[in-house]
Amino acid sequence: MAGPGHEDSAAPADEASAEARLLDQHELSRRAFVKAAALFGTGGFLAAGGLVGLSSLARVSAAADLDSATAAELAKRQWAFVIDLRRCDGCGKCTKGCQQMHFLPEGQEWIKVYTVTGAGGQTISLPVLCQMCEEPPCTKVCPVVATYQEPDGVVVIDQEICIGCRMCMAACPYGVRVFNWQQPPQVPEGARSASPLFTAPQRQGTVGKCDSCAHRLREGDFPACVTSCPMEAIYVGDFVTDIATNGRETVVLSEFLRTNDAFRLKEELGTKPRVYYIAGHGQDLDF
């Protein structure tokens, strides 16, 4: 780091060694430049490399935390919903049942009942819950794998991990994701849970959405929206056993979908939802 001022003070008698020192310095600073350039040139790559290295420690998804036997066991169910729009009268009881089940904050809806106008001018009530996409766009964009797909097809959120960037809300084409802006209400001691399958209370500053009542499905119970629908319009089913039920009547899932011309929302996006809708006659299929 010595500057030219110091060289000036070098004894003129010792010219040879002064020159040597000068050369030395040039060599030194030259090296410093090459180093700086090299540092920059490789800096980016090193940063990327380091991140790749770190990622060997990273989990691909929380589902990967499961051992393969458990995962295979869970994969023996592939859940689906069917909503018979001919029966839905838009009463909104599914929304309320869901809110009670999950201790949701006032106004937060995990199954929203939209009123849309069909091609013939008729009014249609359209309940929209998480579409349980086979190819979920939301899990792709989550930077920390807080939202992921369980082996049985349910897409859930780990609110202990979610950083609250809301990228998944941007990616979801169905608008089913909500954000916990406020501190959610208290939950009775016994009902509290931090599991991604059932998080109560919801965590402030994280994204929430319909979890398909995965905790109940695995216990052989019905989701809250199915049991609270007085019109028995919501069926829950499983593609593996090919059965679906609304709690009273049981149908063969594939046949039920085929004979009733079931459709899915925004099929053209390639998300492959597992929520099917059955339209009445003359209804517009494109919402």
Footprint of other proteins on this chain (CB under 8 A)?
A: 1-5, 7, 22, 25-26, 28-30, 32-34, 36-37, 39-41, 43-44, 47-48, 51, 54-55, 57-59, 112, 114-116, 126, 128, 137, 140-145, 161-167, 169-175, 178-183, 204-207, 265, 269, 287
What lies within 8 Å, CB to CB, of 268 at 6+ separation is none
- Distance (Å, whole) CA 277 – CA 128: 10
Long-range contacts of 198-201 (CB under 8 A, 24+ apart): 198/102, 199/157, 199/159, 200/102, 200/103, 201/103
Q: Which is nearer to other proteins, 91 or 243 (CB)?
A: 91
Q: How far is the CB of 232 from other proteins (least distance, A)?
A: 23
- Which two structure tokens, joined as six digits, stand for 39? 């540092």
Report the 10 Å Cβ neighbour count for 65.
Answer: 10
Long-range contacts of 123-126 (CB under 8 A, 24+ apart): 124/85, 124/279, 124/280, 124/283, 125/85, 125/88, 125/89, 125/90, 126/85, 126/88, 126/277, 126/287
Report the 10 Å Cβ neighbour count for 109.
Answer: 18
Q: Which is nearer to other proteins, 35 or 192 (CB)?
A: 35
Q: How far is the CB of 185 from other proteins (least distance, A)?
A: 14
Q: Which is nearer to other proteins, 4 or 220 (CB)?
A: 4
Q: Which is nearer to other proteins, 205 or 280 (CB)?
A: 205
Q: Which is nearer to other proteins, 96 or 218 (CB)?
A: 96
